[in-house]
């Protein structure tokens, strides 16, 4: 449901979810599994209480209706997959773009990463991921990457199990463009926010840039990010 400024001008995506051109002020999402991630990629309204699960309504919902809330913006990526100069896929991403080996065999893939057209390195690894601050506590964290503060204007490039142990995660300003090219003959898999996937062939390129529109969340202060980390990650527990 939404608090409307006018009639919605909407489109239906592949999930059957109307989110592309909503002109609402606040979009409250009550999703079954999978719908939340789609909403986060496409919605232009501010999002409140986006959960995958059964508990959606909180005791602070009334505060939002009274205007006692803040709008928090989170960086999104625009990711394109191209082959021989032809664009095959373009998606907006809230968390991460992950390239992993496509074979079930225990073989490394070779990737080449460039930032603003300048070569960073070639990677022989199980894969490579690019994560926003929001996505830094997901796959990036498991792969040994750093936790980024939600409002930081940066992103992180993290190799997954690299053969060269000195190849560490790289934190870059979010106004930079990163291009990842598959160099090995084995196929690889591109996964966006764990929802959209594509097969990469040798020579394929994945381009990641900051999206023009950020994701906007409705937050009911006070919100303590470190308390969230302590609770979710079990910091200080015995």
Between these two residues, 17 and 120, which has the higher pLDDT value? 120
* C-alpha to C-alpha distance for 19 and 132, rounded to whole angstroms: 22
Alpha-carbon gap, residue 15 to 17, rounded angstroms: 5
Q: Evaluate if residue 66 carries a pLDDT over 80.
A: no
* Residues of the chain by 3-state class (helix, strand, coil), percent to 5: 15, 40, 45
Q: pLDDT tens across 175-226, in order?
A: 999 999 999 999 999 999 998 889 999 999 999 999 998 888 777 766 788 8
Mean pLDDT of the chain: 80
CA distance 22 to 181: 35
**Could you read off the pLDDT of 86-115 as tens digits, one per residue?**
999 999 999 999 999 987 778 899 999 999
Q: Average of pLDDT values for 110-127?
A: 97
Burial 27-45 (b: 16+ CB within 10 A, else e): bbbebeeebbbbbbbbbeb
Q: Which residue has the tokens 């870059």?
A: 172
DSSP string for residues in 148-189: PPTT-SEEEEEEES-SSTT---EEEETTS-EEEEE-SSS-EE
């Amino acid at each position: 449901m939404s608090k409307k400024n006018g009639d919605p001008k909407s489109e239906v995506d592949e999930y059957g979810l109307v989110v592309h051109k909503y002109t609402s002020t606040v979009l409250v999402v009550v999703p079954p599994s999978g719908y939340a991630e789609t909403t986060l990629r496409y919605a232009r309204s501010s999002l409140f209480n986006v959960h995958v699960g059964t508990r959606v309504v909180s005791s602070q919902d009334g505060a939002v209706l009274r205007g006692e809330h803040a709008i928090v913006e989170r960086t999104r990526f625009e990711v394109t997959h191209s082959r021989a100069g032809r664009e095959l896929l373009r998606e907006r991403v809230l968390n991460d773009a992950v390239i992993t080996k496509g074979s079930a065999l225990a073989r490394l893939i070779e990737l080449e990463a460039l930032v603003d057209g300048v070569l960073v390195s070639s990677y022989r690894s199980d894969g490579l991921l690019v994560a926003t601050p929001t996505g830094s506590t997901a796959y990036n964290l498991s792969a040994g990457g750093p936790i980024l503060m939600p409002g930081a204007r940066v992103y992180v490039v993290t190799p997954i199990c690299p053969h060269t142990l000195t190849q560490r995660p790289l934190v870059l300003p979010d106004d930079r463009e990163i291009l990842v090219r598959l160099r090995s003959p084995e196929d690889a898999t591109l996964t966006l926010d764990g929802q959209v996937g594509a097969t990469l062939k040798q020579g394929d390129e994945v381009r990641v840039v900051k999206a023009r529109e950020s994701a906007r969340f409705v937050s009911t202060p006070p919100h303590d990010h470190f308390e969230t980390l302590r609770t979710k990650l079990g910091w200080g527990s015995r």
